């Protein structure tokens, strides 16, 4: 390799590593939608740079970090796909990474979400169709209030009680 091509390779490696380091740093902060967007953007930029310059060793690491972001976000299918891509092109830097465990966690969460969605669909269908023998109970919002009026014009001070729209007089 010539000196210029070595420096070019080093510059690409440095750029991708800086983007992946930024992704990692963002994942260590309190996670918000904005933070996750930034982390995913950095991982995507690293992936695009590695792919553009045919650095498949760096591309695998970019897929790995992209999977970490998607996993933190709860996008289990996309995270699983990213981890599978990372595993299929393993390069340097994978010695401490248990891809099998990461993909297994994603598959477990995908199953959990699928089961939850199926339960919600069944509940929605049951509510929509109505079950046999189900009775509808309605409660009245009507309230009755008791009002006491004293008539000071009468000599015997009669009291009037009004309930709803009816009036009852006592003397």
Phi-psi region of 154 (alpha: psi -120 to 50; beta: other; left: phi over 0): beta
**Separation of alpha carbons 26 and 113, rounded Å:** 26
Output the CA–CA distances (angstroms, integers) from residue 91 to 21, 29, 61, 84, 86, in the order listed. Answer: 17, 27, 7, 13, 9
Closest CA to 106 of 69, 79, 68, 85: 79
Backbone angles phi, psi at 150, to 5 degrees: -110, 130
Cα Rg of the chain, angstroms: 34
Q: What is the pLDDT of residue 160?
A: 47
Tokens of 151: 């008539």
Domain parsing of the chain, residue ranges? 3-129, 141-171
Cβ atoms of residues 74 and 67 within 8 Å: no
Each residue's pLDDT expressed in tens, for the chain with a length of 171 residues: 566 678 888 999 999 999 999 999 999 999 999 999 999 999 999 999 999 999 988 999 999 999 999 999 999 999 999 999 998 866 555 656 788 889 999 999 999 999 999 999 998 888 877 765 556 666 766 666 555 556 555 555 444 444 444 444 444
Residue 160 C-alpha from the chain's centroid: 61
Token pair 């979400």: residue: 113
CATH fold of 3-129 reads 1.25.40
Backbone angles phi, psi at 149, to 5 degrees: -120, 140
Backbone angles phi, psi at 28, to 5 degrees: -85, -10
In terms of pTM, does the model score above 0.75?
no
How high does pLDDT run on average in the chain?
81
Cβ atoms of residues 149 and 168 within 8 Å: no
């Amino acid at each position: 390799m010539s000196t210029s091509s070595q420096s070019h390779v080093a510059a690409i490696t440095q750029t991708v590593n800086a983007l992946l380091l930024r992704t990692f740093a963002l994942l260590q902060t309190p996670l918000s939608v904005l933070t996750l967007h930034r982390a995913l953007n950095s991982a995507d930029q690293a992936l695009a740079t590695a792919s553009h310059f045919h650095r498949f060793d760096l591309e695998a690491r970019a897929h790995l970090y992209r999977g970490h972001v998607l996993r933190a976000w709860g996008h289990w299918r996309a995270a699983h796909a990213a981890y599978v891509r990372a595993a299929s092109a393993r390069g340097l830097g994978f010695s401490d990474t248990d891809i099998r465990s990461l993909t297994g966690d994603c598959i477990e969460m995908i199953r959990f979400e699928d089961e939850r969605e199926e339960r919600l669909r069944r509940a929605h269908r049951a509510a929509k169709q109505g079950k046999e023998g189900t009775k509808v109970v309605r409660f009245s919002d009507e309230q009755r209030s008791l009002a006491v009026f004293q008539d000071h014009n009468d000599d015997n001070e009669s009291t009037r009680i009004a309930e709803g729209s009816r009036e009852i007089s006592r003397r």
